[in-house]
Structure 1
Amino acid sequence: MTAALVVCAHGTRDPDGRAAVRGVLAEVAALLPGVDVLEAYVDVHGPEVAEVVAGLPSGEPVAGVVVPLLLAGGYHVHVDIAEAVAARPDVVATAALGPDDRLVEVVLDRLATAGAPEGGTVVLVPAGSSDERAQADSAETAQRLAHRRGAPVLLAFAAGPEPAVADAVAGVRAAGGGAPVTVASYLLAPGFFQRRVEECGADVVTGPVLPDPRVAEIVAERYREAVGRG
């Protein structure tokens, strides 16, 4: 049998956000013909990842692969998804999508589309997590983005840890002598946090990562690597 792929997102009440996630599933299914691609979530709504994993038929050596549709590896990856697969030795979970240079490329493209000025400081804004592992992944992405831009990138958050995005924008503006302030969204899809970022007071705010085919490519790569290891 071919191992099933469970694509596990956070979950959102925003209809555009849900549509963006389902768009990824469709793109992944096109990249992996013959693979059963299932959706699952860790919060807000179902189907819950634990239920989806429990419902997979047994198979050897790998019955299923769970790929987190999450940009950083925090609590949801290391606890929620890990617990969901713990009772299934024939189901494996992969790392989160990031850090990954393809996601940095997406952010760079969003900056160009939004008309962000070259040079100057960019504030990169993920959703935020109290889990230090997620914060470390986001910090690594900020460092990669700064390296590619050849200009400073600060890390701020839509919620949770400090600095909050609005505070970071105010600080950059105060230090910049009136230069435009650019915020790069490091959020997966439209929704509550993206609206919060858009209301932060920056001169330029980019759109979220989705839609972009590179996300589906990362998911498919995670799946293939996990099946190969199995």
Structure 2
Amino acid sequence: MTIPAPALAGIAHGTSSPAGQAAVAALMRAVADAEPLLTVALGFVDVQHPDAPETLAALPAGLPAIVVPLLLSAGYHVHVDLTDAVRAVTDRAVLLAGALGPDDRLVDLLRDRLDQAGLRDDDVVVLAVAGSSDARAVADCRIVADLLAAAAERPVALGFLSAAEPRLADAVAAARRDNPGRRVVVSSYLLAPGFFQDLVLAAGATVVTSPLLVPGAPVPRQIVDVVLDRYRSAA
């Protein structure tokens, strides 16, 4: 008798943006297409339903599960919300995987987005991240900025959209002040369109890249591979 593999429950932040909702749903369809024998489900930690407990409860009875946070760094939602949700499950075995980032493949995708946005040799780059009150998540973001700096062969400043400093608008203003006459390009380290991407667009940059997922475009294989690697690493 073949023992079924644990379900992959991808848990995203959640958004009220239809474009963001569509992009994240497309990601999980791509994950399911890449591994057709897996049971794949999508849930959320905020804004949308089903939440993590509802997502796990809806899986086939008794089927083990691995929760993969569809989050780019491991902050409060991973260390508290999802950890508590996993510990509360009593009707099946559930494991919690790591957040998606930092990961070199995501940095490669950030570099691709910069190229698509028309990055020039003399452009100044600022990495836009969601931000967190959790120091571990902030440290993850600094690692990504350093990796992107190496990939883009130029310094990369960091700007946060919430909970940490410097705020993105301030980082953009500082980059413009310190580099007169040069374009300021913001690299969006966000998973999908939504409220935070709107904040990135309003921060005053000359150019803003698309987030990692773009509605209507093919889901980047890099993200699919990272999701599946997180799943396998936790199994």
Q: TM-score range by the shorter chain?
A: over 0.9
CA displacement 1:19-71 (0-9 Å, x = unmatched): 00000010000111111101110001110102222444325xxx110000111
- Residue 213 of structure 1 corresponds to 221
> Pairwise mapping of residues 62-211 of structure 1 onto structure 2 (< 5 A)?
63-88=64-89, 90-211=93-214
- Residue 41 of structure 2 corresponds to 38
- Residue 58 of structure 1 corresponds to 62
- Residue 19 of structure 1 corresponds to 22
State how far apart, in whole Å, the 1-side matches of 2:234 and 2:163 are. Answer: 32
State how far apart, in whole Å, the 2-side matches of 1:176 and 1:108 are. Answer: 21
Structure 2: tracts of 5 or more residues without a match: 215-219
- Residue 217 of structure 2 corresponds to none
State how far apart, in whole Å, the 2-side matches of 1:19 and 1:51 are. Answer: 20
State how far apart, in whole Å, the 1-side matches of 2:140 and 2:165 are. Answer: 16
Which amino acid in the other structure matches residue 166 of structure 1?
A
Q: Does the CA-based 8 Å contact 1:8-1:41 persist in structure 2?
A: yes
Q: Does the CA-based 8 Å contact 1:187-1:194 persist in structure 2?
A: yes
Of 161-170 and 64-73, the range deviating more from structure 2: 161-170
Secondary structure of the residue that 1:156 maps to in structure 2?
strand
State how far apart, in whole Å, the 2-side matches of 1:55 and 1:13 are. Answer: 22
Secondary structure of the residue that 1:65 maps to in structure 2?
strand
State how far apart, in whole Å, the 2-side matches of 1:125 and 1:184 are. Answer: 6
CA shift at 1:159, angstroms? 2.3
State how far apart, in whole Å, the 1-side matches of 2:229 and 2:124 are. Answer: 32
CA shift at 1:3, angstroms? 1.0
- Residue 223 of structure 1 corresponds to 231
Which amino acid in the other structure matches residue 208 of structure 1?
P
**TM-score if structure 1 supplies the norm length?**
0.93
CA displacement 1:72-107 (0-9 Å, x = unmatched): 110001111111111347110111000000000010
Structure 1: tracts of 5 or more residues without a match: none
Q: Does the CA-based 8 Å contact 1:143-1:153 persist in structure 2?
A: yes
Q: Structure 1 residues 119 and 144, CA, compared in 2 at 3 Å: closer, same or farther? A: farther
CA shift at 1:226, angstroms? 2.1
State how far apart, in whole Å, the 2-side matches of 1:86 and 1:172 are. Answer: 44
Q: Does the CA-based 8 Å contact 2:12-2:71 persist in structure 1?
A: yes
Identity of aligned residues (%): 47
Q: Does the CA-based 8 Å contact 1:68-1:96 persist in structure 2?
A: yes
State how far apart, in whole Å, the 2-side matches of 1:116 and 1:199 are. Answer: 19
Q: Does the CA-based 8 Å contact 1:120-1:151 persist in structure 2?
A: no
* RMSD between superposed Cα atoms in Å: 1.4
State how far apart, in whole Å, the 2-side matches of 1:116 and 1:38 are. Answer: 37
Q: Does the CA-based 8 Å contact 2:122-2:182 persist in structure 1?
A: no
Secondary structure of the residue that 1:183 maps to in structure 2?
strand
Give the length in aligned residue pairs. 224
CA shift at 1:201, angstroms? 1.1
CA displacement 1:105-157 (0-9 Å, x = unmatched): 01000000001212543100111111111111111100111112221011111
Secondary structure of the residue that 2:204 maps to in structure 1?
coil
Which amino acid in the other structure matches residue 81 of structure 2?
D
State how far apart, in whole Å, the 2-side matches of 1:195 and 1:157 are. Answer: 13
**TM-score if structure 2 supplies the norm length?**
0.91
Q: Does the CA-based 8 Å contact 1:119-1:150 persist in structure 2?
A: no
